[in-house]
Structure 1
Amino acid sequence: MARQELARFLRGRRAGLRPHEAGLTTAGTVRRTPGLRREEVAELAHMSVDYYTRLEQARGPRPSARILDALAQALRLTPAERSHLFRLAGSTAPPGSDTVRRVRPHVARMLERLPETAALVTDAAYGVVAWNPLAQALFGGDLARGTTNLARRRFLGQGRMHPTSRTEEFGHIVVARLRRSADRYPHDPRLTALLGELHAGSEDFRQIWRTHPVHAPGHRTKTLDHPEAGTLRLNCDVLLVPEDDQEVVLVTADPGSPSVRALNALAARAA
């Protein structure tokens, strides 16, 4: 635990946060400094003033994850600042309480710059939260409604799911990720509802769930039967957006292959 650095970080963020930014009213009060007072941070974080003061003076014990989360909320820290706070305290920042469905602007712009690559972003519950035109042409027009969930597609047959050579393997990948998400977000109502649907509606899902599969994102190849483009041999690569627990799925074909020509034709029509 880096006590001195943690103390400096807390003091700096407290001094830089204005009362109205923290939801405090200051009408009729005289303040010597523009930032928050220690007692205000302590109240917002639901801890004693003495405990918080000792943290700022590098005299406090190692704070728990609950205390650190409360401080991050009280000081309105960004996700990067929250992670830094945990590192200074000698801990690893756990994910937030709910799965993240927003897509960061730089991730969305990356999808736009990949016209010959089918690209989409999935959240921790396998909901599709962003995609580019080629991904829509490749995986189905219902992506445009923004309600597609790949786990529901795989196990419940909701939406267009073209058969692939790796459909069975994909089921294990889906269940492995959903198991991790269930541990990380036990109070997320959307995820809880999804798992209830899958358990109730798919014996295949229940059987795989019982095996506790473990899979890491990486490179895979698959053969996909597309109603317009025919049989495609595709490469699938996954990039992580760890701060939001999201995955960017990139689908390409080998240069010079019949599949890449078919993908390019789909891309031209999608454009």
Structure 2
Amino acid sequence: MERRLQRELGDFLRSRRERITPADVGLPAGPRRRTPGLRREEVAQLAYISTEYYTRLEQARAPHPSREVLAHVTRALRLSDVERDHLHHLAGLPPGPPPGPSREVRQSIVDLLHGLPAAAAVVLSATYEVIAWNPLAAALMEDFSALPRPARNLIRRTFLAPYRHGRRLYGVTDADEFARTSAQHLRSAAARYPDDPEVTGLVEELLTGSEEFARLWAAHDVADRPTLCKTFEHPLVGPVTLRCDVLDITDRDQRVVIYTAAPGSPSEEAMRLLSVVGTQTVNVPG
């Protein structure tokens, strides 16, 4: 049984290595390669282990790797959360809790977002970072592709002055309610990922930079208050009132937020206009 798992571990590592190109991990392609994917020595370099040891892992000749080695190999091979768990099981070490909130969005969810031409839709991580969006969401809210990653976090956009740029969270009418709800969700996320430096760092940044967040955080509330309707004060088309639906992606600890206008409403016409102009003339910071 143990020998079989060692062989499966080696085969799994080899299959993951062969699917990654040097460009995927920022390495030069170099001379012509006889086999697809990365070389063993390249994976070993990325995982901070010796080439000899990694080779023995693939050849089922190495002892059980430690959790630290598995963590390095997971990052080097860009494994998904499911692949990470599978790797741990093959190594005889049941996976622990996820190291932090997942930022990997399934392709089917990305396709769903882009298959909603009349709706603005985003995917939020457990810490309210916008990690995927469709063109209409960029036109309604902001061109997230033009922002550095910290500025894509809606909790930062709500509480911290460097990210607010004078208009609180795209001029939404329920900004205070959103502030309360996002603080509650972040408290729950902090309990799920107590050792993740990004989560703890975000909380400390907010506690230091916002008296309002510190007050909400001190309340220890974790209740959820779903918002069913939201009005955006858009700089080009004016107020846009939209229905707000939230779909949970439980296995990734993510949320899909979908904004739609009531049929025949002025907001539906405003959304049609935004779908035409896109972000070309409305890239106004929120």
String of CA shifts for 1:21-48, please: whole Å, max 9, x gaps: 9857569x9x9xx8524xx352x136xx
What is residue 123 of structure 2 aligned with on the other side?
121
Aligned-partner Cα distance in 1 for 2:10–2:145: 45
Give the 3 Å change call, closer, same or farther, for CA 15–140 of structure 1 in structure 2. closer
Which 4+ stretches in 1 moved above 6 angstroms? 84-87
String of CA shifts for 1:103-142, please: whole Å, max 9, x gaps: 3333323222222111112222222222222111211346
Structure 2 alignment gaps of length 5 or more:
18-39, 45-49, 280-286
What is residue 229 of structure 1 aligned with on the other side?
237
Structure 1 alignment gaps of length 5 or more:
47-65
Q: Does 1:94 align with 2:118?
A: no
Aligned-partner Cα distance in 1 for 2:245–2:4: 38
Q: Which amino acid aligns with 2:66?
A: A
What is residue 45 of structure 1 aligned with on the other side?
66
* 1:243 aligned counterpart, secondary structure: coil
Q: Does 1:209 align with 2:217?
A: yes
Cα deviation for residue 154 of structure 1 reads 1.0
Cα deviation for residue 151 of structure 1 reads 0.5
Aligned-partner Cα distance in 2 for 1:192–1:184: 11
* 2:152 aligned counterpart, secondary structure: coil
String of CA shifts for 1:177-212, please: whole Å, max 9, x gaps: 211222222333333332222111211111111122
**Alignment map for 1:75-224 (pairs within 5 Å):** 78-80=80-82, 94-95=97-98, 97-141=99-143, 144-146=146-148, 147-157=151-161, 158-159=163-164, 160=167, 161-216=169-224, 220-224=228-232
Contact 1:173–1:213 under 8 Å retained in 2: no
Give the 3 Å change call, closer, same or farther, for CA 172–45 of structure 1 in structure 2. same
What is residue 56 of structure 1 aligned with on the other side?
none
Cα deviation for residue 232 of structure 1 reads 2.1
RMSD (CA atoms): 4.0
Q: Does 1:239 align with 2:241?
A: no
Q: Which amino acid aligns with 1:243?
A: D
Q: Does 1:13 align with 2:8?
A: yes
What is residue 60 of structure 2 aligned with on the other side?
36
Contact 1:101–1:129 under 8 Å retained in 2: yes
- The number of residues matched between the two structures is 237
**TM-score, normalised via structure 2 length:** 0.65
Q: Which amino acid aligns with 2:120?
A: A
Aligned-partner Cα distance in 1 for 2:258–2:4: 38
**TM-score, normalised via structure 1 length:** 0.68
